[in-house]
Amino acid sequence: MNMTRKPRYCLQCDDGTVLELKVKDVTVTVDGVSRVVPDVAGWHCPKCSEIEFVDADSAERISIALRSAREEAGAGNGEAIRAMRKKIGLKQTEAGQLFGGGVNAFSLYERGKARPGKSTVILLELLTRHPELVAEVRGRF
């Protein structure tokens, strides 16, 4: 890389902040769900999260990490949890007993105060698609 080229300015900050050409680990976060992407090459803004990529690989890895974080955040967000619980006809307290986590667990998930575990989200999604299995799961308690 040619280090003597003219400085590049952050278009996001738009206040004359100079971008730094380097390789560094970048953390992407979507609604509290984070992914660390190691060794991202590019022009990094020291003030905001702006990156001007210099290779396709770094850009691709950031985009994969963002997609993955977005999926996890979407699946575990309070509104999605509430919608699935209602669709399978469970009260919050019943859901907490059935899925584990205690009677207050779903109240916390749905208000965004806590995040359900991955297995809870998967089971909720499964039951939403196969509501005929809810009775079977209920029968275990």
| Residue 67 C-alpha from the chain's centroid | 8
Strands (DSSP E) contained in the chain are: 20-30, 33-44, 51-53
Q: Choose between 33 and 45: whose C-beta lies nearer to Zn ion.
A: 45
Position 12 contacts Zn ion (CB under 5 A): yes
Tell me the closest approach of the beta carbon of residue 45 to Zn ion, in angstroms: 3
The residue range among 28-36, 49-57, 100-108, 121-129 that interacts with Zn ion, by the rule CB under 5 A, is 49-57
Side-by-side strand order, sheet with 20-30 = 20-30, 33-44, 51-53
Position 47 contacts Zn ion (CB under 5 A): yes
Please give the size of the binding site for Zn ion, defined by CB under 5 A.
Answer: 7
Tell me the closest approach of the beta carbon of residue 85 to Zn ion, in angstroms: 41
Tally Cβ neighbours within 10 Å of residue 140.
6
Positive or negative CA dihedral for 90, 94, 97, 100? positive
Position 10 contacts Zn ion (CB under 5 A): yes
Contact 133, 126 (CB under 8 A): yes
Q: Choose between 48 and 133: whose C-beta lies nearer to Zn ion.
A: 48
Residues in the site for Zn ion, rule: CB under 5 A?
10, 12-13, 45, 47-48, 50
